[in-house]
Amino acid sequence: MKTICIYCASSSQINPVYFETTARLGKILAEAGLSVVFGGGSNGLMGHLADTILDLNGKITGVIPKFMCDENWQHQKLSELIVVESMHKRKALMAEMADAIIALPGGCGTLEELLEAITWKQLGIISVPIVILNINGYFNPMIEMLHRAVEEKFMREVHKNMWIVVDSPEEVLNAIELSRDNWDVNARKFAAI
């Protein structure tokens, strides 16, 4: 495991607990010597994550669409900034670079990235661990909806193994390994819907 993809918010108007927890995660990843790829933004949890990792001399790569750079939304001090033509290319490249995915709380964009990653894993397009960092119970309604999809037979029971939910950054690295082991056992079951 070398590169962790992180989905998270660009909003700065959120509860401080999200910033504090994001900083703890950044510290854990930097101290473990892991590289991070993220959306490249300078605001909200994205900017705070980048600042934390850079302050600890860690490596963080941003992937951002050109139109966002035209608005000066990009973080200016990243280890690397990759500018792409579209949101679709951004998401595809971030997933391609990732050895694991971690979702932190965020708005529609973050939720869409997470659900697309789960969909890609279900279809066998990606096979990396997906960890949902459920800070402050933020993802509870979405997790309930995913479980409802299983209960209503829109997904199979085994599909609940495509992601792992944790409540603290300190659980993330272990969850990645647990998810990887679980995927190896069940990989052939996921592609069939």
CATH classification of the domain holding 34: 3.40.50.450
The total number of structural domains that make up the chain? 1
Q: Is 193 exposed, middle or buried (0-12, 13-18, 19+ CB in 10 A)?
A: exposed
φ/ψ of 15, rounded to 5, equals -55, 135
Residue range of the domain that includes 22: 3-191
Nearest 5°: the CA angle 73, 74, 80 is: 175
φ/ψ of 41, rounded to 5, equals -80, 160
Token pair recorded at residue 104 = 């932190």
- Token look-up 């300078």 returns 42
Q: 179 pLDDT exceeds 90?
A: no
Of 9-18, 109-118, 146-155, 184-193, the poorest mean pLDDT is in 184-193
Exposure letters 66-98 (e unless 16+ CB within 10 A, then b): eebeeeebbbeebeebbbbeebeebbbbbbebb
SS3 10: coil
Q: Which amino acid is at 124?
A: G
CB atoms under 10 Å from CB of 166, counted, come to 19
Taking residues 115-123, report their average pLDDT: 95
Global pTM value:
0.93
Q: What is the pLDDT of residues 6-38, one digit of tens each?
A: 999 999 999 999 999 999 999 999 999 999 999
Q: Which is more confidently placed, 120 or 191? A: 120
Q: What is the pLDDT of residues 74-86, one digit of tens each?
A: 999 999 999 999 9
CA dihedral (5, 126, 33, 180) in degrees, to 10, reads: 120
68: region left, alpha or beta (phi > 0 left; psi from -120 to 50 alpha) = alpha
Q: 185 pLDDT exceeds 50?
A: no
Percent above pLDDT 90 for the chain: 91
